[in-house]
Amino acid sequence: MIFRHGRVAAFTFLLLSAALARVPAQASPSQSGDDVSAIKKVVAGYSDAFNRHDAAATANLFAEDADFTNLRGVYRHGRKEIEQTFVTLYAGVLKNAHRTDTVKNVRFLTPEIAAMDDLWEIEGSTAPDGSANPGRKGLFDWVLTKVNGRWVITAFHEAEFPK
């Protein structure tokens, strides 16, 4: 069931992305600077919360009704489910993990909606059997929305690069 919802969420995300790609990006002076900086702070906050293994701080970066799909296709909906996922991960396979992120692109689809691409790297994660994973690299695709003046993650999709 989880996989099915993940595929539905991914398909929905692709359809939305394709539809919005036809909408010209709208950039106001604040979006070319202040909003891009604010979005980069969300990414930095994600890295910081991840590296402190703080599930509540990680989840607080997401919208209340956010959609989360990880690299294995696991789908979660809503901040509470996302937080619980990170509680489990930080106590398990990610308890010694450290990540770095590099924002590659921010595209404003509307003044309150942005798509963001981020390259990530993780060291120190373990496989489910407890064995050490080699360093890992991948890509985040996020849709962020501006809610009451604050940028939050609304749709989260993660991919890992092949080794």
Residue 101 burial class via C-beta count within 10 angstroms: exposed 0-12, middle 13-18, buried 19 and up: middle
pLDDT digits (tens, 9 = 90+) for 74-88: 999 999 999 999 999
Q: What is the pLDDT of residue 31?
A: 60
Q: What angle do CA 117, 151, 6 make, to 5 degrees?
A: 55
Q: Where are the domains of the chain?
A: 2-160
Give the residue with greater pLDDT, 149 vs 29. Answer: 149
- pLDDT class of 11 with cuts at 50, 70, 90: very low
User: Is the confidence at residue 17, as pLDDT, over 80?
Assistant: no
Phi-psi region of 81 (alpha: psi -120 to 50; beta: other; left: phi over 0): alpha
What is the C-alpha separation between 70 and 39, in angstroms, rounded?
Answer: 20
What is the C-alpha separation between 16 and 141, in angstroms, rounded?
Answer: 13
| Predicted TM-score (pTM) of this structure | 0.81
Cα dihedral 2, 43, 146, 161 in deg (nearest 10): -40
Q: Please, are residues 40 and 127 in contact by the beta-carbon 8 Å criterion?
A: no
CATH T-level fold of 2-160: Nuclear Transport Factor 2; Chain: A, (3.10.450)
Q: How many CB atoms lie within 10 A of CB 87?
A: 16
User: Is the confidence at residue 93, as pLDDT, over 90?
Assistant: yes
What is the C-alpha separation between 8 and 20, in angstroms, rounded?
Answer: 18
User: Is the confidence at residue 5, as pLDDT, over 70?
Assistant: no
